[in-house]
């Protein structure tokens, strides 16, 4: 079974706005075994939109239209569907009452203009929208169907879950899904792909999707079978091979991010953490504290952006800074030790390096780690982009801590 998605709105044809709803809808559809074969983005123009809808309905079994259900003259989705199908729409008092009730709940007056949202296309079912004023509509056209859905993502998702999902599910044979979500730090996408491709390319089910952010690769496995046990067995089988090939480079098997995983390990051990940051300037601390309840294990840290601060705040000896420079193994270790002593944390991480903009040492980074029983430094050479160097440094430091905690 095939589907198409039509995103309606002139703002989606400007240089700054993308139709992101379609990604979420595609994921929902793929989960049901439905493939998206075409996506169209069109402005608030009745005739053009009607032509797009006609074409989509000719080609595909299911047409999802997002946006254009608002109360203004610009909102032409209802009219365009009527035009495409040669149907009329009628004012429905019960829809108008629902819209009025919603305005009453949020204690705002309902404008006359909102009555436009109470028109229902002949033959359509109204889909109540708990999160907004625009009801959706579901329209069976022979064995095919069109859904009119609101554009705001929160409304779209709510309405999908409450009303659309079961209608779409009824159109396809039942499928059971099993998934796995691995995450790997410290490996490029192409290296990782080269390593695991021999395993996953032998399977068309599960489908493997590899998605990369700098220093952080996501591996999604998704099996679809007639039986749940069969889907789970397939994911387990391929998952075991992926685990075998990647070993402890996998930091997460449930999609949790690196700071969350490191935090879980610290909490489980009843241990604490502090940081000493030069080049990253707070990025490492910011990531650690992005995790709710990170105050359970994060004590604090030092941003020491100058040699003087490394000395006065962390106690790095002036002679060491003079002899080895601030970007050195020695200073990385002294920074971590200084942070650990001053915060009385179990662990401390440090970052010192050159993020640019200029100079031959750009990308030259030392990480330090200290615990009650050890202190080590690690040298890494990154590329030349300031933001990337900082991000990769923070990621590598967190992954290094994770490996020490395991």
Residues of this chain that interact with a second copy (CB under 8 A) are 12-16, 18-20, 23-24, 26-27, 30, 35-43, 45, 48, 52, 55, 59, 209, 211, 275, 277, 279-290, 292-295, 298-306, 308-309, 312-313, 342-343, 356-357, 386-387, 390
Question: In this structure, are strands 216-225 and 207-213 parallel, antiparallel, or unpaired?
Answer: antiparallel
Shortest Å, Cβ 256 to a second copy: 15
Between 191 and 244, name the residue whose CB sits nearer to a second copy: 191
What is each CA distance from 406 to 107, 161, 192, 204, 400, in whole angstroms?
54, 39, 22, 34, 10
Between 93 and 295, name the residue whose CB sits nearer to a second copy: 295
Shortest Å, Cβ 39 to a second copy: 4
Shortest Å, Cβ 343 to a second copy: 6
For the stretch 389-393, contacts whose Cβ atoms lie closer than 8 Å and that sit 24 or more positions apart, written own/partner, are: 389/279, 389/353, 389/355, 389/356, 389/362, 389/363, 389/365, 390/279, 390/280, 390/281, 390/283, 390/355, 391/214, 391/215, 391/283, 392/214, 392/215, 393/279, 393/280, 393/284, 393/351, 393/353, 393/365, 393/367
Shortest Å, Cβ 26 to a second copy: 4
Between 293 and 373, name the residue whose CB sits nearer to a second copy: 293
Shortest Å, Cβ 122 to a second copy: 27
> Under 8 Å CB-to-CB from 164, ≥6 apart: which residues?
127, 136, 138, 147, 149
Between 229 and 322, name the residue whose CB sits nearer to a second copy: 322
Please state, as a whole number, how many other Cβ atoms lie within 10 Å of the Cβ of residue 300: 14
Question: Alpha-carbon distance 266 to 401, whole Å?
Answer: 10
Place of tokens 């953490």: 273
Shortest Å, Cβ 309 to a second copy: 4
Between 58 and 94, name the residue whose CB sits nearer to a second copy: 58
Question: Alpha-carbon distance 303 to 284, whole Å?
Answer: 10
Place of tokens 């993020």: 355
Between 247 and 270, name the residue whose CB sits nearer to a second copy: 270
Question: In this structure, are strands 216-225 and 2-8 parallel, antiparallel, or unpaired?
Answer: unpaired
Between 41 and 139, name the residue whose CB sits nearer to a second copy: 41
DSSP string, 314-366: H---HHHHHHH-SSSHHHHHHHHHHHHHHHT-SEEEEEEE---SSSTTTTEEE
Shortest Å, Cβ 162 to a second copy: 21
Between 115 and 220, name the residue whose CB sits nearer to a second copy: 220
Shortest Å, Cβ 387 to a second copy: 7
Between 81 and 279, name the residue whose CB sits nearer to a second copy: 279
Phi, psi of 173 (to 5 degrees): -65, 145
Shortest Å, Cβ 281 to a second copy: 3
Question: In this structure, are strands 2-8 and 62-66 parallel, antiparallel, or unpaired?
Answer: parallel
């Amino acid at each position: 079974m095939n589907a198409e998605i039509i995103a309606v709105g002139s703002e989606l044809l400007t240089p700054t706005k993308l139709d992101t709803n379609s990604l979420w809808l595609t994921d929902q559809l793929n989960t049901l075994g439905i493939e998206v074969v075409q996506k169209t983005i069109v402005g608030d123009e009745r005739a053009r939109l009607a032509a797009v809808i006609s074409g989509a309905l000719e080609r595909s079994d299911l047409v999802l239209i997002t946006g254009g259900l608002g109360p203004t003259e610009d909102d032409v989705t209802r009219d365009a569907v009527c035009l495409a199908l040669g149907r009329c729409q009628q004012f429905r008092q019960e829809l108008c009452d629902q819209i009025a009730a919603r305005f009453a709940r949020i204690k705002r007056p309902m404008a006359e203009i909102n009555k436009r949202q109470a028109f229902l296309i002949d033959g359509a079912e109204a889909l109540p929208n708990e999160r907004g004023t625009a009801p959706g509509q579901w329209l069976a056209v022979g064995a095919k169907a069109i859904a009119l859905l609101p554009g705001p993502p929160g409304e779209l998702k709510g309405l999908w879950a409450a009303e659309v999902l079961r209608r779409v599910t009824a159109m396809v044979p039942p499928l059971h899904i099993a998934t796995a979500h691995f995450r790997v730090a410290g490996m490029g996408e192409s290296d990782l792909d080269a390593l695991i491709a021999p395993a996953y390319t032998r399977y068309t089910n599960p489908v493997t999707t590899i998605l990369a952010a700098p220093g952080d690769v996501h591996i999604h496995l998704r099996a679809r079978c007639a039986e749940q046990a069969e889907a789970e067995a397939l994911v387990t089988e391929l998952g075991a091979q992926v685990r075998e090939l990647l070993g402890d480079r996998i930091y997460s098997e449930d999609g949790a991010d690196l700071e969350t995983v490191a935090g879980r390990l610290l909490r489980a051990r009843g241990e604490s953490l502090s940081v000493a940051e030069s080049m990253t300037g707070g990025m490492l601390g910011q990531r650690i504290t992005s995790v709710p309840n990170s105050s359970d294990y994060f004590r604090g840290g030092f941003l020491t952006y100058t040699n003087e601060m490394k000395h006065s705040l962390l106690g790095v000896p002036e002679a060491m800074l003079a002899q080895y420079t601030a970007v050195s193994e020695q200073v990385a270790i002294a920074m971590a030790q200084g942070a650990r002593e001053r915060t009385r944390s179990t662990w401390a991480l440090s970052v010192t390096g050159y993020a640019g903009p200029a100079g031959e040492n750009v990308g030259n980074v030392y990480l330090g780690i200290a615990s009650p029983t050890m202190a080590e430094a690690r040298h890494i050479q990154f590329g030349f982009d300031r933001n990337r160097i900082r991000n990769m440094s923070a990621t590598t430091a967190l992954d290094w801590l994770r490996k020490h905690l395991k």
